[in-house]
Structure 1
Amino acid sequence: MTVLTADGVATPVAAPPAPSNALLVVQNLTKHYGPVVAVQDVSFYCLPGEVHALIGENGAGKSTIAKMLAGAVVPTSGSVTAGGIALVSGRIKDARLAGVSCAFQELALVPDWTVAENLALPDGAALRGFSQRKSIHAATALLAGLELDHIDARALVSSLSLADRQFVEIARAITGAPKALILDEASSALGPPGVEWLFRRIRELTALGTSVIYVSHRLSELAVIADRGTVLRDGRVAGEFSRGNWSEDQLISMMAGREASKAFPSSPPLPVSSKPDVLRIENLVAEGLNGISILIKPGEILGVGGLQGHGQRELLRALFGATPASASKWMLGGRPVRRLTPVKAVRLGAGYVPEDRKVEGLALELGVGENLLAPWLKPFQRGGRPRLASEKTWISGVIASLSIRTRGPLENAGALSGGNQQKIVFGRWTDRSRTLILLHDPTRGIDVRAKQELYKAIIELSRQGVGVLWFSTEVEELVNICHRVVVLYEGKIADELEGDRLTAEAVVGAAVGVASPGVSQREIS
């Protein structure tokens, strides 16, 4: 194992024994799935009132460890103790009784139940003596106490935004005052205000002596919230670090086993093209949108900024035909649009990477190859192995170009890590004669290397003349890669930024309704 010492030097050392006051102790934890070794001999501990980070690239074993700690997965070998109680049963209820709860990366909510019913579920009495009235009253009080009173306890979870579903998942994990709380990518769907909310809750819990295990790809958050951390690589412990003695480059190198490469790639200059505008839309009106006008030229990367909930999701879905919308003028690839559906959008050259890859982007029980081909398969058309064989070259090219870690096109998409699943949702649109690609926060919840690979793929689309409309919750992505950025506020374009005006400060200011000097939305001529 490697440890970053006080002067930032990576030094090999033997894993130290857990101190007597450790609340959570993990020793030689191992998990095999048949011949696949997901986690191998992982050991670490967490002290009362401490935030311990677990970091690593996609597929490094972080979520598998979180599930073993939470009782959702039985270890192959090794031990986990919480307050001296052994946790090896593979039952979430037993872990919660021992004081360990988890907010899972792949949200463990029941979509067709209300928020109140989901929050009552951990009590184990959801089907016996359950009272809707009491559950709504208790859930409303809980949400208000957690500063989440904008969420209606009576609403179906399926009707909530992804960010609000993440809030409910976290709220459910917090109920019952856990001794140890596991947060697996709990900030991945949250914008800056949501992350601040999460950090307030963490500080409240650690002040009471709760141990928090914080799993995240957002390294910038660790400097704010983590006391110590364990770095994973290929299912093993690659090193440890503690507050104040690390840099992002050092952690990335430890995670990847190579020198860090963190800089954003440069977008190519916009070419002078005789082709028609990729997208020209005036006065777009839809649910949550009020008079949006957008112009995207061939090869242009247009960013969409703003706090979540101000129309970004509605904009992308409307432009892909997933929700009803109308406009005084609507041209896609030089062709007029009157009534758009997703099937027609694909036919006209559009592609879409949705917000929630699990719900909207993938069929998890199908293979990698079938998921890549999904937009190109028609009802009653030949599929399965014959179609995979005919598309073998393209499928292999996508897997190689995006470094998708899979055992092959027949492996179920549900068996892959979140980052590799996201690459599939993105990769299905590459080399498919696209005109416009719509991206909803495509780097959410993926590691640094996967982000770099997606950045390069987006840049390559731009070089090919594909227009890109990219909403991101990470402002630095918009500022460093996009040619222009429009910022939405209350369903309207609050500002349009380019050139010297395209700064992180300007994007954030427009997102909260404060226009920067010289604001003027480009006229659509």
Structure 2
Amino acid sequence: MTDSLLVATDLVKTYGPVKAVRGVTFHCNPGEVLALVGENGAGKSTVAKMLAGAVAPTSGTITVDGEPLASGSVRQSRLSGVRCAFQELALVPDWTVAENLSLPDGAPLKGFSQKKAVAAASALLESLHLSRIDPRAAVSTLSLADRQLVEIARALAGRPKLLILDEASSALTPPGVEWLFARIRELTAEGGSVIYVSHRLGEIAQIADRGTVLRDGLVAGEFVRGDWTDDELISLMAGRAAERFFPDPPERTTDAVALSVTDLRSEGLRGIDLELGAGEILGIGGLQGHGQAELLRALFGAAPAVADSWTVAGRSISRTNPVRSVRLGLGYVPEDRKREGLALEMSVGENLLAPWFKAYQLGGRPRLAQERGWIDGILKALSVRTRGPNELAGSLSGGNQQKLVFGRWMDRSRRVVLLHDPTRGIDVRAKQELYRAIVDLAKEGVGILWFSTEVEELVHVCHRVVVLYQGAVADELIGDRLTADAVVGAAVGATGSLNLTTEGVAS
């Protein structure tokens, strides 16, 4: 440890009576990628925030290159060569890409030049193979994947000594992850170190040299590249034996149709024909930006759309909106849980009941009390770690927030549930719980339309997969044709004539 770039010793972080981190010690060497893994709520993000200066430790020490790291100051951590890209993005939505990339290291109201900021941002993005991102664009106009890339680019600016990636790949598709890995290899080849926080075990096996496992705020163990299996790591994270990772899709017992559209047209869609059966889990594959988000939003009425024919549970409609969709029996888990899925300043219980307030004029504390049994049942079924229905949703970990967004549609007589990457950034056990919940909904006859950036989810849990390319259906995969290679092949044009590289399709 005397030659380590980073040494964290006996880190403790308490929030009132809650001990989020309880004496964590680890180190990271120059040129090394250290994985930091654990279930949601294990303390990973809290440790990352302490290293980044966003949170001050209650006790313990952190040194970088043998020098103490300033406590609780992001600016001082950055000056020490420590930078972090967070899953919960730290970008200012109303600022441009250039402003977000330039202002953190400068004085916002003194000597700032838009022209110089745009020029510097353009140079940085080009050097990182992200020149397709417009530095003049407002961050709020970018897709979640592109916002994640800007967050990573900001952390990479200036070639930090220590780069912390806190679930930074969670919004990226496989080509985007390959782009990220290329940047990591460039940094470590120059002697920099990376702390890689992720729930994606395949990524950890590919990029990490060593790993530290956290459980309940403590170090549960360590591992070295090539010296562990997925089951062993899951057991260490969870403190119990690993279970089978993917459930089988349930056997369908009806030919009824839950949803169908013919020639669905919306911004980003070029005429989609789609039929979803009752009790069917239908996957949506493809690289992000090829119409998956637009399809889900259009079907839920969150974006204007028209179709030659459109039915929900046999009922013909011409167009819809979110309130009407809820009444028709649809549910929707959006891409960005913080911006679209939750009201973070509202309680856990209020967020679970939120869709019904407008649709059925229900609300207020009396309604919350009346629905307490249902709320407690959802929290228990999904193992949501919370102090109760009155806790603010914003105080929960990212994985537990995601469970809330999904849980509001359980046991609510849904006909169709639309899922946009519901397992993004959540741990292995939480994924297993969501898989089981999705399968249980399908067993009840609910049609599930599921877009995922993790191809293996689609292959193992779905009955069929349709792959979108440039706003249209490129292929439908079922039976023996439903393989990871086939999904990826269709995602890049299916014919093999497209000479795409990971540098060109980073998102």
- Is the TM value for this pair above 0.5? yes
Q: Does structure 1 retain, via aligned residues, the 8 Å contact 2:326–2:359?
A: no
Match in the other structure for 1:368: 348
Q: Does structure 2 retain, via aligned residues, the 8 Å contact 1:506–1:515?
A: no
Residue 411 of structure 2 aligns to which amino acid in structure 1? D
- TM superposition shift of 1:508: 1.0
Does the alignment pair 1:301 with 2:270?
no
Q: Does structure 1 retain, via aligned residues, the 8 Å contact 2:327–2:359?
A: no
- TM superposition shift of 1:87: 2.1
Match in the other structure for 2:485: 505
Does the alignment pair 1:425 with 2:405?
yes
Does the alignment pair 1:135 with 2:117?
yes
Does the alignment pair 1:41 with 2:23?
yes
- TM superposition shift of 1:126: 2.5
Match in the other structure for 1:11: none
1: CA distance, partners of 2:400 / 2:385: 6
Q: Does structure 1 retain, via aligned residues, the 8 Å contact 2:464–2:477?
A: yes
Does the alignment pair 1:97 with 2:82?
no
1: CA distance, partners of 2:44 / 2:192: 20
Match in the other structure for 2:368: 388
Match in the other structure for 2:260: 280
Q: Does structure 1 retain, via aligned residues, the 8 Å contact 2:264–2:308?
A: yes
1: CA distance, partners of 2:338 / 2:404: 11
Match in the other structure for 2:306: 326
Residue 134 of structure 1 aligns to which amino acid in structure 2? K
1:440-451 correspondence to structure 2 within 5 Å: 440-451=420-431
Q: For the structure 1 residues 128 and 380, does the alpha-carbon distance in structure 2 shift closer, same or farther, using more than 3 Å as the test?
A: farther
- TM superposition shift of 1:515: 5.0
Equivalent in 448, 458, 461 of residue 438 of structure 2: 458
Residue by residue, what CA displacement relative to the aligned partner does 1:110-167 show, whole Å, maximum 9, x if unpaired?
0000000000122122321111111011101110110001100000000000010000
Does the alignment pair 1:496 with 2:482?
no
Q: Does structure 2 retain, via aligned residues, the 8 Å contact 1:56–1:217?
A: yes
Does the alignment pair 1:487 with 2:472?
no
2: CA distance, partners of 1:401 / 1:509: 37
Q: Which runs of 5+ in 1 are unaligned?
A: 1-18, 517-525
**Please, what is the CA RMSD of the aligned residues?**
1.3
- TM superposition shift of 1:88: 4.3
1: CA distance, partners of 2:495 / 2:432: 31
Does the alignment pair 1:52 with 2:39?
no
Q: Does structure 2 retain, via aligned residues, the 8 Å contact 1:280–1:296?
A: yes
Of 373-382 and 167-176, more deviation after overlay is shown by 373-382
How many residues are paired up?
496
Does the alignment pair 1:182 with 2:169?
no
1: CA distance, partners of 2:339 / 2:436: 26
Q: Does structure 2 retain, via aligned residues, the 8 Å contact 1:75–1:88?
A: no
Does the alignment pair 1:84 with 2:66?
yes
1: CA distance, partners of 2:344 / 2:84: 22
Q: Does structure 1 retain, via aligned residues, the 8 Å contact 2:83–2:155?
A: yes
Q: For the structure 1 residues 377 and 108, does the alpha-carbon distance in structure 2 shift closer, same or farther, using more than 3 Å as the test?
A: same
Match in the other structure for 1:256: 238
2: CA distance, partners of 1:293 / 1:381: 34
Residue 428 of structure 1 aligns to which amino acid in structure 2? R
2: CA distance, partners of 1:431 / 1:179: 50
2: CA distance, partners of 1:319 / 1:339: 9
- Secondary structure of 1:423's partner? helix
Equivalent in 164, 188, 213 of residue 206 of structure 1: 188
Q: Does structure 2 retain, via aligned residues, the 8 Å contact 1:79–1:88?
A: no
- TM superposition shift of 1:385: 2.8
Residue by residue, what CA displacement relative to the aligned partner does 1:305-350 show, whole Å, maximum 9, x if unpaired?
0111111000000001011111101111211221211111111110
2: CA distance, partners of 1:126 / 1:189: 29
Q: Does structure 2 retain, via aligned residues, the 8 Å contact 1:139–1:153?
A: yes
1: CA distance, partners of 2:261 / 2:295: 11
Match in the other structure for 2:358: 378
2: CA distance, partners of 1:381 / 1:492: 38
Q: TM-score, normalised by structure 2?
A: 0.96
Match in the other structure for 2:253: 271
Residue 307 of structure 1 aligns to which amino acid in structure 2? L
Does the alignment pair 1:311 with 2:291?
yes
Q: TM-score, normalised by structure 1?
A: 0.93
Q: For the structure 1 residues 426 and 382, does the alpha-carbon distance in structure 2 shift closer, same or farther, using more than 3 Å as the test?
A: closer
2: CA distance, partners of 1:183 / 1:262: 28
Q: Does structure 1 retain, via aligned residues, the 8 Å contact 2:334–2:419?
A: yes
Q: Does structure 1 retain, via aligned residues, the 8 Å contact 2:356–2:362?
A: no
Q: Which runs of 5+ in 2 are unaligned?
A: 497-507
